[in-house]
Structure 1
């Protein structure tokens, strides 16, 4: 959930970030893939039930067996936990790295480097102790990276420029793109679901009037249910609103940071990172994650 930019790239983050990011990406892919299979199988079951032939009944049994297998896999593996918890750890690590690198609280620029490094390690170790095991792929060193130290050593004006372009500007562009994409997808899915509802109504009326005797309406009802379930899983409307709000808040913060002096910089960076973390907290809450 991040944008890229100059100054501090993903490969310049601590290993913990890359590890938890991989765990989250893998968990998301497996969870969405399992959910897709479950919904496709539900539609396939409706088709087999509507056909009613002996072969269709055998296929229906196989479909139900496959559905049970997918459900058991989702319950035992719980890939959504790796997705949510891995993303939480990755984003928490990223915000710590940016705070350290640009002199944001609790790592102000005037803090001696050894003390800042020690404070960073302590904060990161706390995150690791509190992180669920599913949020991590194998982890290597948790040390501060050379890129983070190089950015921290820059003069204030240069650090401010890099933070505004690489972090705030990158996040703002990312939120704006995501807001537009989610609003568009929500509208498309709404129209598709309405179209399926209309087809289902038409199919039911035609069967009622004796035009045909095939249970097409039942199949379309299954398609509608699967589509509605997928729409609920992706939460396009909720995310569209959340990203729009986050982009608006960050645009205000961007203007304020551009005129911040070195005396108030550390706290202003902390406030900006809190705003970014707040969006992610809302995202996790909407997913039902703790």
Structure 2
């Protein structure tokens, strides 16, 4: 009795230990980087706000100086520790390991089912070893997970029809849905942030006019300018608009690949290997573009 596609579907724990270690490092680097950017921008905003009140008390001047010092220290932390590099490099390493694992598990090039079992397994281990050798020296933790899990071996030994169902559900449809949801999420976030910035710009204009009319002596337009600068910096960091476009493109590209794979009605291992190569190339291309765009942020 053959194993069903549901039973051979790969879970996160079924991927090599290198994938799990790199994924964990990437998430940790992302968390540290985003937290540092948030606190740096908040410190600058506080410095600007306290700076407006220095005429009322010298304590506000001290508070403003401390806020600037906080922003400076956070910037030095980012420059020294480079948490964004751990994020980017870890994500690239994790996705490379994941792509190789899927190729091996479903019998795609360079691990076709027709090749000797031990030769394909050794080739896979060698490529994982090469990824490890090129991995960043920091951020990657130890792991006790195997390179080839039982689930991967089980999926590889399944008939092509079951490997196809498992790959469609666990890789293509999963990634297509992820990209579609993320595209919509980033589109909405980009729109909201643009509306917020428009509101702050309007408030800044009104504050400037009120200051000119000498209704109040505090120049709130300066605070509005600081808010606009911080908001623009945050948008540059998050890249909502560019991510929405990139994710939408990849989701539609995967939709085409999904239709091609679902339309396969014969047991042609060579054609199957070619289709998987196209699918993994599409996913890898998006990750390459993401990393390039992120690297230009700082």
Shorter-chain TM-score: which interval? over 0.9
CA-to-partner distance for each residue in 1:13-32, whole Å, 9 max, x for gaps? Answer: 01000000000000000000
* Shift >4 Å, 4+ stretches: none
Unaligned residue ranges in structure 2 (runs of 5+): 1-6
How far the C-alpha of 1:129 sits from its partner, in A, is: 1.2
What is aligned with 1:277? 284
Is 2:109–2:277's contact at 8 Å kept on the other side of the alignment? yes
Matched, 1:265 2:291: no
Rounded to whole Å, the distance in 1 between the matches of 2:174 and 2:203 is 43
- 2:237 aligns with one of 233, 251, 256: 233
What is aligned with 2:62? 58
Matched, 1:288 2:295: yes
- 2:206 aligns with one of 193, 202, 205: 202
What is aligned with 2:4? none
RMSD: 1.4
With normalisation by structure 2, the TM-score equals 0.93
Rounded to whole Å, the distance in 1 between the matches of 2:294 and 2:139 is 16
- 1:221 aligns with one of 211, 215, 225: 225
Rounded to whole Å, the distance in 2 between the matches of 1:128 and 1:163 is 25
Cα 1:238–1:144 change in 2 (3 A) is same
How far the C-alpha of 1:65 sits from its partner, in A, is: 1.9
Q: How many residues align?
A: 285
Unaligned residue ranges in structure 1 (runs of 5+): none
Q: Secondary structure at the match of 1:144?
A: coil
CA-to-partner distance for each residue in 1:92-130, whole Å, 9 max, x for gaps? Answer: 000001001111111112222211110101111111111
Rounded to whole Å, the distance in 2 between the matches of 1:252 and 1:183 is 22
Q: Secondary structure at the match of 2:295?
A: coil
